[in-house]
Amino acid sequence: MLLGNFSLLNDSEDTRSVLTLSLGLVGPGSGGEAVQNGFHDAIGQRRPFGWNGQIQNTPAVQLLHERTWRLPLGTVAGLETDALPSLTIGLGDLRDYIQTGVTFRLGQGLDSDYGVPRVRPGLSGGDVFTPTRPFAWYVFAGADGQVVGYDMLLQSRPVRGGPHVSSVWDVAEMQGGFAVMAYGMRLTFAYVAQTQEFNGQTGGLHQFGSAAVSFRF
C-alpha cells in the first residue's frame, strides 16, 4: 500500500482538529512486496508468504476527521498531568471506521503537542508540535476502541471480489511510550498492542513499536 496524505490542522488552546485526505494505491504497483522482501533479505530472515494472494492494483481514497481535547489534570510531585480524549471517523474505500480513546500523560511542557505521531488507525497526536519550554518531555499510556465497518486490506476490494478473511468489527488497542522535545527536535516512541482484526488470526495480540523524529524549521 502506498499513500500520500494531505491534511488541514486547526489548534485552539485545548483542542486539535485534523482533516486528512489520503490518496494512493493498494496492490503490486505500490511496491510493498519488493520493500518487505528486500528488508527481510537484508536482516537475514525468511521471506514472508502470502504475496501471491495480494489485492490487485486498486486506487485508495480515504477521508479522515479527528478531534482531540486536552484536559489538564493537575500536578503530581511537581510534574504536569493531562488527559487527551479523542474521536476519529474514517470513510473511504480503504477503511470505514469510528474510533474513540484516551491518552494519559505525565511530564513537563505537555501543552507542546497533542500526543505522539503514529500510523493510523490508532491514537495519534499528529506531526505538529510547538515546544513551550527549552526541554519538554512526557511518558504516556492510552487505549482506544474501533468499530470497523469495512477494511479493504482484510475484505478485498469493495466491488470486485478476491482473497479475503472474515474481519472482526470491534478492535481495541493499548499503547504506551514517551516523547522528548529539545533544540527544535522531537523524539517519540510508542509500543502498541492490538486485539485480533479477523477471525482465525493467531499469535495473540498483534504488537509493534512506532518511533518518529520531527524537526521544526
* Domain-located, residue 159: yes
Amino acid (1-letter code) at residue 119: V
Domain count, the chain: 1
The pLDDT assigned to 49 comes to 79
Question: What's the confidence (pLDDT) of residue 66?
Answer: 97
Answer whether residue 142 shows pLDDT above 80.
yes
Cell of 208: 509493534
76's CB contacts (< 8 A; 6+ apart) are: 106
Give the ranges where the chain is alpha helix by DSSP (H): 32-42, 152-155
Domain with 149 in it: what CATH number?
A: 2.40.128.140
Give the model confidence (pLDDT) of 156-195 as tens digits. Answer: 766 556 677 888 999 999 999 999 999 999 999 999 999 9
**Residue 197 DSSP class:** S
Q: Is residue 186 part of a domain?
A: yes
Asked if residue 47 belongs to a domain, the reply is: no
Greatest C-alpha distance within the chain: 58
Q: Is residue 145 in some structural domain?
A: yes
Is residue 8 a part of any domain in this protein?
A: no
3-state secondary structure 93-125: CCEEEEEEEEEEEEEECHHHCCCCCCCCCCCCC
Residue 50 lies in a domain: no
Kindly report, residue by residue over 47-87, the tens digit of the pLDDT.
Answer: 887 787 788 888 999 999 999 999 999 999 999 999 999 99
**Do residues 190 and 175 make contact, with C-beta atoms less than 8 angstroms apart?**
yes
Q: Is residue 48 classed exposed, middle or buried when 0-12, 13-18 and 19+ CB atoms within 10 A define those classes?
A: exposed
Q: Output the pLDDT for position 204.
A: 86
* 84 found inside a domain: yes
Range of the domain at 179: 66-215
Closest Cα partner for 177 from 135, 129, 117, 127?
Answer: 117
Structural contact between residues 212 and 116, judged by C-beta atoms closer than 8 angstroms = yes
What's the pLDDT at 101? 98
**Residue 141 placed within a domain:** yes
